Amino acid sequence: MAYTAFGEFVRILRIKHHEVMGDMAQVLGTSTAFLSAVETGKKNVPEGWSEKIAEHYGLSSAERAELDQAIEKSRTQAKIILKDASSTKREMALQVARSFEGMDDETAAKIIALLEGEKL
């Protein structure tokens, strides 16, 4: 079974604190099945989990930054709210979504550079 960066991070935390998945699920207010789905990348890490984990395990600021980075690396879905977007922005977002799976890394890097304001 493959784990995300988040899954690896929290498994190590549980081992260090002699806890099992059920203990952590209780801290997070969820089921072990949902926590497992998050650890394996089937679900995104819900909002607020970083704070709950950091508080419960007494994470240092460096450990908290590592946790937040692991959460970001583990993101499997992104939500874009188009409600107030202009028609041009809406079309751009939808075009990226339609093209995403077939896009090569070179094209993705160019889009990132363009969005970050770099000259191509």
Where exactly are the structural domains of the chain? Answer: 5-74, 80-120
Distance CA 120, CA 112 (A): 10
More confident residue, 2 or 32: 32
Check if the beta carbon of residue 48 is closer than 8 Å to that of residue 71. no
Q: Is the pLDDT of residue 40 over 70?
A: yes
69 pLDDT tier (thresholds 50, 70, 90): very high
Task: Classify 34 in phi/psi space as left (phi over 0), alpha (psi -120 to 50) or beta.
Answer: alpha
What's the predicted TM-score (pTM) here?
0.72
Topology of the domain comprising 5-74? 434 Repressor (Amino-terminal Domain) (1.10.260)
**What digits encode the pLDDT tens for the residues 72-107?**
999 887 888 999 999 999 999 999 999 999 999 999
